[in-house]
Amino acid sequence: MTHPKPTIAFNILNGAATQLPQLHQLSDAGAGQDLMHLTPTRDSELIANGSALTPFPSPPQPTPLTAKGLLDNGGISPAVLTRGMLNRLHQAGHNIEFRSYNFQVQCPQPGSSDWFADCQHHGGLEADCGDLIQQRLLPDLTAQAERGCISILAECGVGGTTFSTLWLRLLTGLTLSPAGSTKDADKLAQKARLLAQLEQEYRRAHAQFDVEALLASPQFHDQIQRALYGLLCHWPASLPVPHLAGGMMFVAPLIAAARVRPDLRGRVDTTRWVVAADGQSVLSHLPADWRLGLHQTDFGLSDFDCLNRYEQGLVVEGCGLGGVLVLAEELGLDANDIITTLEQACTRHQSQFQ
């Protein structure tokens, strides 16, 4: 008798650090000036529907590459690749559920979720963040664990790596360079200046890491950090923690939450590129009962330039791609299957712009 394959519940935390000025000068992850806050919303629509439904205001207009479905660095959005991999797992016999939790960013439009068994969006611009965590996020994810789902928790945050780097500096004592998806020298310099300013302002009043002080001021955190920290601190000890599919945006609040909940154990699944540079030293600070999973598939096997950009370190993390790749490899998909799936996802996406 063949047993049904477990449902894969893919959940994503969306947020934008709108309190940071000139977000487009800090990251390559969005569509450009005055459009960055729409990235999490549109990425969730890409995963759920195959196309972004929330329009850009006119003006401003997206950059030329973004208008063609690419990032400014020539890469393809990780949301496109995450959708492709989830679709491949659906074809392998898994039911796929999708949930987005939107913290002070526009809620995605529903669209058509076609092969998803269930697709829901919660929160939005006016949502109370505490209520969204306690009344939606925590109950939904605990219900997934109780049903025996493979529960994945991802993130799409714009600008939040500035805050995660601040937290990690305070937590580890390491002198960390700014993290995130850019190698642009001007953007990195701007990010470094902002980070130094934030750290100096924090240390004027606090000698060491104080999570309550950080969460008390929007100057020192974003809502994704608040959401993950709150989720872990209130997680039922009897249930398995969701697979955390995120890089530095998740590692910082995880290390902080482990001080309050040392009883929890789980896994952080992310891309190989996250451990480059400072990433390796940070991940060595993961709590002892937490496991790190890194995908092995080499994007250099592809002839697609937009995928090769990932191996060049130009797109480091986002939209749970690393976590979905790790899961796909664990479920038996080989590198050729994965690369073919990713190339098909790129072709389908870019055909919309021809």
Q: Cis omega (within 30 of 0) on the bond before 240?
A: no
Strand 8-16 and strand 290-294: the pairing is: unpaired
pLDDT tens readout for residues 116-140: 999 999 999 999 999 999 999 999 9
DSSP assignment of 146-200 equals: HTT-EEEEEEEEESHHHHHHHHHHHHH---PPPPSS---HHHHHHHHHHHHHHHH
- The Cα 162–Cα 142 span in angstroms is 30
The lowest-confidence range among 26-35, 181-190, 308-317 is 26-35
pLDDT digits (tens, 9 = 90+) for 41-80: 999 999 999 999 998 887 777 778 877 788 888 899 999 9
For the chain, the first-to-last Cα distance in angstroms comes to 47
Query: What is the band of 24 on the pLDDT scale with cuts at 50, 70, 90?
Result: very low
Mean pLDDT over residues 15-41, rounded? 65
The mean of the pLDDT values for the chain is 89
Q: Name the band, by pLDDT with cuts 50, 70 and 90, for residue 175.
A: confident
- pTM passes above 0.85: yes
- Average pLDDT over every residue of 321-335: 97
pLDDT class of 162 with cuts at 50, 70, 90: confident
Give 74's contacts (C-beta < 8 A, 6+ positions apart).
65, 305, 306, 309, 314
pLDDT one-digit tens code per residue, 223-265: 999 999 999 999 999 999 999 998 888 999 999 999 999 999 9
